[in-house]
Amino acid sequence: MQRCDLIVIGAGPAGLSAAVEAARQGMRVTVYDENARPGGQLFKQIHKFFGSREHKAKIRGIRIGEELLQEASAAGVQVELDAVVTGIFADKEVTVRQGERMLRRKADTLIIATGASENMTSFENWTLPGVIGAGAAQTMMNLHGVRPGEKILMLGSGNVGLVVGFQLLQAGCQVVAVADALPGIGGYGVHAAKLARCGVPFYTAHTIVRAEGVERVTGAVIGAIDQNWHIVPDSEKHFDVDTICLAVGLSPMSRLCGLAGCVMEDNPQKAGLVPVVDALGETSVPGIFAAGDVSGIEEASSAMIEGRIAGLAAAHRMGFMASSALDARLAELTGALASLRAGMFAPGSKGKVFTHTAEGCALSASLLRRGFVADEEIDRYPGVTRARGVHPVLECTQNIPCNPCADACPRQCITVGADGGTITALPVFDAARGCTGCGLCVAACSGQAIFLVDEEAGEITLPYEFLPLPQKGEQGMALGRDGQPVCPAEVVAVRTSAAFDKTNLLTIRVPAEYAGRARFYRKER
Amino acid sequence: MRINEHPVLGGYPKGEAVAFTFDGARLSGYAGEPVAMALKAAGVFIHRYTRKNHSPRGIFCAIGRCTDCVMIVNGRPNVRTCITPLAADMDVRTQYGMGAKHAAL
C-alpha cells in the first residue's frame, strides 16, 4: 500500500492551500480530487475578491486559482484527479476510486477539504429542464463558454445569486429579476447595486410559485409571501424565461468526516452538519483536520487561510515544523482570518439585524429591499463627498472586509479604518491629498462601488465590464442607481489598462445637475 | 448559446471541432468539452425521461453530482454527460428510464 505523510481530500482553495503549506515544510503530500481539473470553484469565479492585500483582494478568483496551482507544483504536491475518496478507515487509510480502479492509500495525517454542495428548493415543475443551480450557470458560462439560457430568473440574493447574476449579464444573458424569500437582500449591497444599475429588478419577500412549461422551462411565476410564508393572494407575477437559476445556499459536504469517526455538530451558523474542529482545524480524531466550507460555509478567501493553518498544523504534528515556527505563522494567519470574519456579513453576525454601520450611518432601506441606495440616502455615507475637480465618490455603505481602494490610490487619498481600525470600515476620501483622476481605485474596487466624479464638468467615470465596449464620442443614456434612464450622456473617454485587470473605465458627460445621479451607461436604443 | 467573446475571460480554449450523433442526428461540438455542453450549444435540453412518470430531465448541477443529465453514451446508460468529455463520433442517445426507448417501462 502506498503511503505518504499527508493526504488531502479536495483540490479546491482550502485543500490546495493546505497541501502547499505542508509540502513546503517537507511533507510528502498527495491531494485527491474527484474532478478532472483542480482548483475547485476558483476557476469559475471571474470576479475580483474582497479582503485586503494579504487575502489577495482585487484579484480575480481564476488568477488566484492559477497561482495556487503554481505554488502546489513548485512545492512538489502530487495532485491526483478523477479520484474519488470513497472511504476513510482506521489509522488514516483511505480508499480511492480512480477511473475503473480502487486504490488503497495511507498517510500519517489527513486533511478533509471537500467543500460544499448547493442547496435546492422544490416548487411546482422544478424538475423541468431549464431549472439549474447557480453553480451550473457558472460552470457553463465561465468554464465552457456556453450561455445557460437567454432570459433568466435568479432565485436567491445571497452573494452567490448576486455574483452569478452579474456574471450572467456579462455572458450576454438577460436577468429578468432576482427574487428572495427573505425580506432583505442577503448578499453584499455593492453586488446588488451592480445588478440594479443595469436595470435588474429585485423582489424581496417573494418566492417562486411554479415553473411553467411542458418539456422545458418557458416561464416562471413568483409571488409575495406574508409573515407566515404563505403566498399573498393576487400577488403572482409572471416572467417569460427559459432558465430559472437556484442560488439558495450551500451545505457542507462533510460525510467523509462522519465516516472517519469525527464528532459532528449540526450548526446553523456554519450552514449544516460539520465536524467539530479546534482553532487549527483538527477534528476530534487526532491527525484528521478539516478546512474550508466542509467545516462551515464561508468565502474562498477564508477557506484558503483555514487550509494554510491546517497544513501547517499537520506538519507540526508530525514533527516537520518547530512549535516556534508554527506559532509565528499562526499569529499572521489567524490575524488575517479574523479580519475577514469581521463586519456585518461575518459568520458571527448571522441572524443579527443591523440598522446602522459601525460609523453610525443608517443603513439604506432601499438597498436592502430594491438593491440600490436611493438618491436621497446616498449622501449620508462618509465616502460620498463633493469636491472641486475630479474626485472619487465611494458608494460603499456596509461594513464588509475590504480595502483595495485604499491600497490602490498612489496619493493615499482614500483611507479605510484609519488609526489601526478594521478593514470593514467605510472608506473616506481626503480631498487635501489631491486626486489625479487616475482611476486605479475605480478598477480596484471589487464591489464596483467607486466612481470618479467631476460635478462642475458633469463627468462620471464608472467601472464597465461588458462587451461591446462603448466608443468615445458615442451618444447614449445615463442610468441611475436604479437602472432607470436619467438623462442623455456622451462617452468622452474609455480607458483600458493591464493595471485595471479587465475593468474598463468609462467616462460619460451629462448635464452637471445629473452628476450625482448618473451611475451607469447604455447605448441609446 | 456559445459565448464568442467574454469581457473578462476573452475567448475559451477549445479542442478541435468534432462530429457526434444525438439520437442518430449529426451534431458538432469540441473535443474534450463535456458532452452536455455540446448538446446545450446545439439546442438540446432534454437528456432523459424518468422511468415512472416519463418526465423530462436536463442539466441541473453541471458538475457530476446530481445525475439528472445522464444519457446513453456509446451504448452505455447512466453516463453523466456534464463531466464526460466529448470525442469524435460519439453516439449519444436520450435515456428512457434506465435504458433505451424500447426498454422503457
Give pLDDT, residue A437: 96
What is the average pLDDT across A148-162?
A: 98
The answer to whether position B4 is within a domain reads: no
The answer to whether position B39 is within a domain reads: yes
Mean pLDDT of chain A: 96
pLDDT at residue A19 is higher than 70? yes
What is the average pLDDT across B11-32?
A: 97
Q: What is the number of structural domains in chain B?
A: 1
Check A118 against B61: CB less than 8 A apart.
Answer: yes
Q: Report strand pairing: A391-394 vs A450-454.
A: antiparallel
**How many Cβ pairs within 8 Å bridge chains A and B?**
95
Bridge partners (DSSP) listed for residue A391: A453
Give pLDDT, residue A281: 98
- Please give the Cα distance from A403 to A389 (Å, whole number): 24
The answer to whether position B71 is within a domain reads: yes
Q: What residue in A sits closest to B61 (Cα-Cα)?
A: A136
Q: What residue in A sits closest to B30 (Cα-Cα)?
A: A144
Judge: domain A2-117+251-340, CATH 3.50.50.60: yes
pLDDT at residue B54 is higher than 80? yes
The answer to whether position B105 is within a domain reads: no
Give pLDDT, residue B105: 47
Number of other residues whose CB lies within 10 A of the CB of residue A297: 21
Give pLDDT, residue B103: 52
pLDDT at residue A514 is higher than 60? yes
What's the distance, CA A382 to chain centroid? Answer: 25
Burial A87-113 (b: 16+ CB within 10 A, else e): ebeeebbbebbeeeeebebebbbbbbb
Tell me, yes or no, if the two domains A2-117+251-340 and A120-248 fold the same way.
yes
3-state percent breakdown (helix, strand, coil) of chain A, nearest 5: 25, 30, 45
Check B45 against A129: CB less than 8 A apart.
Answer: yes
Would you kindly state where each structural domain of chain A is located, as residue ranges?
Answer: 2-117+251-340, 120-248, 381-523
| A307's grid cell | 487550509
When pLDDT is cut at 50, 70 and 90, the band that residue A248 belongs to is very high
pLDDT at residue A40 is higher than 80? yes
What is the average pLDDT across A199-217?
A: 98
* 3-class SS string, A175-210: EEEEEECCCCCCCCHHHHHHHHCCCCCEEECEEEEE
Q: CB-based contact (8 Å) between A139 and chain B? A: yes
A56 three-state secondary structure = coil
Q: In this predicted complex, what is the ipTM?
A: 0.96
| A202's grid cell | 429585485
Which among A132, A139, A171 has CB closest to B3?
A171
Residue span of the structural domain in which B30 resides: 22-99
The answer to whether position B66 is within a domain reads: yes
The answer to whether position B8 is within a domain reads: no
The answer to whether position B46 is within a domain reads: yes
Tell me the per-residue pLDDT of A456-471, one tens digit each, with 9 for 90 and over. 999 999 999 999 999 9
Check B45 against A141: CB less than 8 A apart.
Answer: no
Provide DSSP, A413-471. Answer: -EEESTTT--TTSPEEE-GGG------HHHHH-TT--EEEEETTTTEEEEEE--SSPPP
The answer to whether position B75 is within a domain reads: yes
CATH code for the domain of B64:
3.10.20.440
B91 three-state secondary structure = strand
| A508's grid cell | 460619460
Tell me the per-residue pLDDT of A211-242, one tens digit each, with 9 for 90 and over. 999 999 999 999 999 989 999 999 999 999 99
Give pLDDT, residue A418: 81
Give pLDDT, residue A525: 59
Give the alpha-carbon dihedral of A425, A431, A437, A441, to 10 degrees: -10
What is the average pLDDT across A193-217?
A: 98
Instruction: Tell me which CATH homologous superfamily contains domain A120-248.
Output: FAD/NAD(P)-binding domain (3.50.50.60)
* 3-class SS string, A75-104: CCCEEECCEEEEEEEHHHEEEEEECCEEEE
When pLDDT is cut at 50, 70 and 90, the band that residue B104 belongs to is very low
Give pLDDT, residue A350: 85
What is the average pLDDT across A495-512?
A: 97
Tell me the per-residue pLDDT of A310-338, one tens digit each, with 9 for 90 and over. 999 999 999 999 999 999 999 999 999 99
- Please give the Cα distance from B96 to A257 (Å, whole number): 36
Check B61 against A133: CB less than 8 A apart.
Answer: yes
Give pLDDT, residue B102: 67
pLDDT at residue A192 is higher than 60? yes
Distance (Å) from the C-alpha of residue B98 to the closest C-alpha of chain A? Answer: 18
Using only C-alpha atoms, what is the Rg of chain B? Answer: 14
